[in-house]
Amino acid sequence: MRHTINVTAAAVAGMLVLAACGGSGDGNSGSASASGKPRIKLVINGGLGDKSFFDSAYEGLKKAQQDLGYDLKVVELGSDRTKWEPGFEDAAAADDYDILAAGTFDVTDYIGELAPQYPDKKFWVFDSAVDYSGKNGCSNKCENVYSVTFKQNEGGYLAGFLAEKLVAEKALKGVGSLNKVGVMGGVKIPVIEDFVVGFKAGFKAAGGTESDVLVQYVGGDKPFGDPARGKEISTAMYGQGAALVWPVAGLSGLGTFESAVTAKRYAFGVDSDQYQTLTDQAQKDTVVTSILKNVGNALYQAARDDQKDALKYGAVSTVGLAEDAVGYVDDAHFQELVPQKTRTELQAAADEVKSGSVTVPSAF
């Protein structure tokens, strides 16, 4: 059940080159249109190299470039929030794209204001949705904006279910009788809380008690870009008796894997297959599985649908386990760490969510 787009170190290096040179075109205004290829500009309110969320988005669009003939340009705005609004304004004003793609809740106001100013352009928002009512920006009710959101609570449910089974059955080598687990979020917002709510529900469904789930947030100026703070929080959780920690915090989560090595404990990955994207073997070995939010898959599908004039603008699409938009990695490493009985129980839990026989609570 491995549903992810892998990001290798070489791919990340390629991303930086791509961002610097302006994608596959020559960087001149209108050059891609002259080639007859539709042009996508991915504007990132942060940077590539998180081996998780934004890297997944990039890989999905890179696949659209390779398979479907799109031209791709990447703009990285960095972690300084004061540069985001002017960065989006400049990106939207330039005539070097047909589709502008951006993600996370932080971008919805920007896109809501900009999309009506460029009615001949298309905008994609992933992992959040603009206000289609027209009450908050989007004077044209965002008729040229496609939004896709994810049922990350369903992925969280599987993470919690698996975590409880592993600690209850003492399946993880070297952690003894530890029965606590940790979830580290970037910041307390609905999309992150959706992971946490789902995790707690899955943990309880597997027989655990909520008091054994430690939750803390990175916060600060860089909640999704502070690995040092992520390591500090994870170290504290391991110190409180957590057998494993699940970071849901973008780049900050890289600190968790460092901490797991030192503590000789375990972790779950998030968004991408982090057993594959991490480069340090000791850190890779701490990753039991990764709970996937297949942002790249969703963007690739959007590119396919747009080519067929089948993508619904002016509306939001919400996808989850049933659409293969969230899930978990079941590979040789996972099978080595997790007993067959537990893997069977986890798959049964996933099937129940997919079929609708189990409804996972949500923060939304």
C-alpha dist (Å) from residue 120 to 31, 114, 144, 354: 17, 12, 8, 38
Residue-level pLDDT at 6: 37
Beta bridge partners of 41: 73, 100
- For residue range 124-158, what is the model confidence (pLDDT) as tens digits? 999 999 999 877 678 778 999 999 999 999 999 99
| Structure tokens given for 15 | 């991303």
> Does the pLDDT at position 256 exceed 90?
yes
Beta bridge partners of 293: 326
Q: What angle do CA 276, 197, 352 make, to 5 degrees?
A: 75
> Does the pLDDT at position 315 exceed 80?
yes
C-alpha dist (Å) from residue 331 to 6, 87, 351: 13, 40, 18
pLDDT band at 16 (very low <50, low <70, confident <90, very high): very low
Between 206 and 294, the more confident residue is 206
Question: Domain 9-150+295-322 maps to which CATH number in 3.40.50.2300, 1.10.1380.10, 3.40.50.12240, 3.40.50.1820?
Answer: 3.40.50.2300
| Structure tokens given for 18 | 């791509």
- Are 346 and 206 spatial neighbours (Cβ–Cβ below 8 Å)? no
Q: Calculate the CA dihedral of residues 152, 291, 146, 58 and round it to 10 degrees.
A: 150
Over residues 268-296, mean pLDDT: 95
> Does the pLDDT at position 247 exceed 70?
yes
> Does the pLDDT at position 205 exceed 80?
yes
Cα distance between residue 355 and residue 340, in whole Å: 22
> Does the pLDDT at position 17 exceed 80?
no
Beta bridge partners of 219: none
Cβ neighbors of 71 (< 8 A, separation 6 or more) are 23, 24, 25, 32, 35, 37, 38, 39, 40, 65
Cβ neighbors of 241 (< 8 A, separation 6 or more) are 178, 179, 180
SS3 assignment, position 130? coil
> Does the pLDDT at position 173 exceed 50?
yes
Spans of all domains in the chain: 9-150+295-322, 152-293+330-355
Cα distance between residue 274 and residue 270, in whole Å: 7
pTM to 2 decimal places: 0.82
The domains spanning 9-150+295-322 and 152-293+330-355 adopt the same CATH topology:
yes
- Are 294 and 326 spatial neighbours (Cβ–Cβ below 8 Å)? yes
Residue-level pLDDT at 286: 98
pLDDT band at 23 (very low <50, low <70, confident <90, very high): very low
Distance of CA 2 to the CA centre of its chain: 15
Q: Give the E-state strand segments of the chain in sequence order.
A: 39-44, 71-76, 99-103, 122-126, 145-150, 180-185, 213-217, 242-248, 266-271, 287-293, 315-319, 326-328
Q: Name the residue among 200, 127, 147 with its Cα closest to residue 360.
A: 200
* Fold classified for 152-293+330-355: Rossmann fold (3.40.50)
